[in-house]
Amino acid sequence: MLAGCVLLALGSRLLLFAAGVAAINTVGFAPDFRRPTPTDERVVLDLPARWDTGWYVGLASGGYRWDGTLGRFENIAFFPAYPALLGAAGTLLRLPLTPVPWNWTGVALSTALFAVALSYLWTLAAAIIGAENAWVAVGLCALSPFSVYFGLPYTESLFLLAATASTLHMVRGAPARAALFGCLAGLTRPNGFLLTLVLLPLALDRRSRAASTAIATAPRADDGRSALWASLAPAAGTALYSAYVWTLTGHPFAWADAQAGWGRLVRNPWVAYSEWARQLLADPLAFVASSPEAFLNGTAGLTVLVLAVPIARRLGLGFGLFTAAGVLLPIAGGGIPSLGRYTAVLFPLYLYTAQIVPRAYRPALLIASTALAILVAGMFFTWRPMF
């Protein structure tokens, strides 16, 4: 199983990187975007140097800094777990202070983390929806429309690994390991604390089942309290980073305020989607042609919101809440941009889809998903705003 996940992670990353090179050589870079100076004039070597890569690599090689002004481009907006791993890899490999080696080390690290994440996803899928559906779930994840981020110096691979591992260990009744990976999820992304929505119902179910057994005859038996504490670990991870930011800035949630530097202001999700729908319905073809990134991001988010209720009914309330919140919170914190990235790590989507799609339609679904992944990769690598 692990070997298959490694091959799938490597093969899918190579496919999407090849799509990026092909898009650069055919379509070309976005004409209306002033792209930064390339890290290398050779297209392939410069390929990972897109959008947030510089922030994560900068953190890994130089650490956090704070200039005392909220609402500007501050690197405290980026959570520490992935940069810490990349920094450790850079130190171990004694990387020079030039971007290309750091960028490609990030690619290798993310791809390795993605392979491990896929193995956890397979095991979790086998436990919940059956081994016959597990490879479908893993394939849908590896070739999901926004899966390009799993092979870049971004946090997606690490978060997917932490979220699936924590959930799997909670399902298996190993709360200590669930807590460890849950805390890691909270230290990886601003919305990592949402994983508690999955873990808490599982912990409550475990406590309920423990209470129905003859605990008095086994005084050392786990009564479910450790699982309840473990379910709060993602929030604890977020709290730990907030405490660090407090010591650095005097404001525990300055990492959230720093999002304003990218124009990510708090807004009503309904208003954001109403505006998106109004533009789409006014002239669908013109909207798709002029703002394909907004169309793809908005469609991804809307699809997730529609599926959240059936996911809750089939997999459990916690999985549905995690899926819905994984879209609603980013919309509330910044609107439609980057929404596709947030949907990529919502692993209940893959579990649900693999279970309900009839066997005869699975190849077509995988082909369509792969085609969209190639499209998104091409847009990302040519500096279209798919950040």
Question: What's the pLDDT tens digit per position in 342-373?
Answer: 999 999 999 999 999 999 999 999 999 999 99
The pLDDT of residue 72 is 67
Question: What's the pLDDT tens digit per position in 108-159?
Answer: 999 999 999 999 999 999 999 999 899 999 999 999 999 999 999 999 999 9
Question: What's the pLDDT tens digit per position in 250-298?
Answer: 889 988 888 776 667 677 888 888 899 999 999 999 999 989 999 999 9
| Contact of 181 with 160, CB cutoff 8 Å | no
Does the pLDDT of residue 13 top 90, yes or no? Answer: yes
What is the C-alpha to C-alpha distance for residues 294 and 288, in angstroms, rounded to an integer? 8
DSSP label of 250 = S
The pLDDT of residue 223 is 55
Burial letters 10-26, b for 16+ CB under 10 A, else e: bebbebbbebbeebbee
Return all residues near 293 (Cβ < 8 A) that are at least 6 apart: 337, 379, 384, 385, 386
What is the C-alpha to C-alpha distance for residues 222 and 245, in angstroms, rounded to an integer? 36
Question: What's the pLDDT tens digit per position in 154-185?
Answer: 999 999 999 999 999 999 999 999 999 999 99
Domain boundaries, the chain: 2-211+220-266+360-381
Give mean pLDDT, residues 31-37.
83
Burial zone of 274 (CB within 10 Å; 0-12 exposed, 13-18 middle, 19+ buried): exposed
Give mean pLDDT, residues 205-217.
51
Does the pLDDT of residue 71 top 70, yes or no? Answer: no
Written as six digits, the tokens of 213 are 């057994």
Does the pLDDT of residue 213 top 80, yes or no? Answer: no
The pLDDT of residue 128 is 95
